[in-house]
Amino acid sequence: MNITVQFHPDAEAEINEAVAFLDLESPGLGHSFLNDLEKAFTGILTYPQSAPVVRGRIRRKTLRKFPYSIMYSLGGSVIRILAICHQKRRPFYWRDRR
């Protein structure tokens, strides 16, 4: 089965914002974040139903090295990335995204 991954436009912006912020904190930290994010995406693609459900069809995959989570939903063969959110800031701000 072919799986399609779609990103909410705000999720893409959140990745860019996190990388920029982390690189300001320490040069190269943004690159480490992207590596951690890529490993999490690989896990989602390999085992899309392994992350816990947090609301309806929305699941949360936490990153290993950074305090961020990937919020995503499953619908048939489509994985929709809804948010890349910091675990300590504004909980559930993404809940109205589809």
pTM listed for this prediction: 0.88
Q: What is the pLDDT of residues 23-68, one digit of tens each?
A: 999 999 999 999 999 999 999 999 999 999 998 899 999 999 999 9
Contact call for residues 30 and 19 (beta carbons, < 8 A) = yes
Query: Rounded to an integer, what distance in angstroms lies between the CA atom of residue 14 and that of residue 57?
Result: 21
Residue 1 has pLDDT above 80, yes or no: no
| pLDDT, position 18 | 95
Q: Report the SS3 class of residue 77.
A: coil
What single-letter amino acid sits at 21? F
Contact call for residues 91 and 19 (beta carbons, < 8 A) = no
Fold exhibited by the domain 4-86: YaeB-like fold (3.30.2310)
Encode burial over 19-47: b for 16+ CB neighbours within 10 A, e otherwise: beebeeeeeebbeebeeebeebbeebeee
